[in-house]
Amino acid sequence: MVNCGPTIGGNGGSEFKSFRERPVEQLDVWYGNGSGDDFNKYTILRGIKIRWAGGEQSRDIGHCPEKEERGVLHTSFDFERNGNDPLEWMDIYGSASRVDSLRLVTKDEKDHFEAGGVGGDKCVQPANGAVFDH
């Protein structure tokens, strides 16, 4: 069963969900300046892609106009033990308009990952030892 936290962002995009009954092995994240006069001064998440145990990948989630692609940064996180290292905690920072960053720590390996900007309000996501499967 998947426990979802509060919805974050939304005015600049659309809600997405991507579920599988397998743990996540790799998470790719793209981030950079927002689009438009009101948001181009902020670093926000631009897209994510998920690879589950077994190799299946999600579609690209998010959008970056072609003229802005050169300014977008990419990072990825590999979950230990084929995705079976549960989460200690996961927070998403954002506002009603954009998602600024994603931050997480795994329970067993204590691996830390963070991508995106420094703004936004903290939205705690239900983790508490759950295997990241969405």
Statement: residue 24 has pLDDT above 60? yes
Which pLDDT band holds residue 106 (cuts at 50, 70, 90)? very high
> Cα–chain-centroid distance for residue 102?
5
pLDDT tens for residues 75-99?
999 998 888 888 899 999 998 788 9
Nearest Cα residue to 42 out of 92, 99, 91 = 99
Rounded to an integer, the average pLDDT of 9-38 is 81
Write down the mean pLDDT value for the chain: 84
Q: Are 133 and 2 in contact (CB under 8 A)?
A: yes
Give Cα separations from 35 to 12, 89, 101 (angstroms).
Answer: 9, 30, 16
pTM attached to this predicted model = 0.84
> Which CATH number is associated with domain 24-125?
2.100.10.30
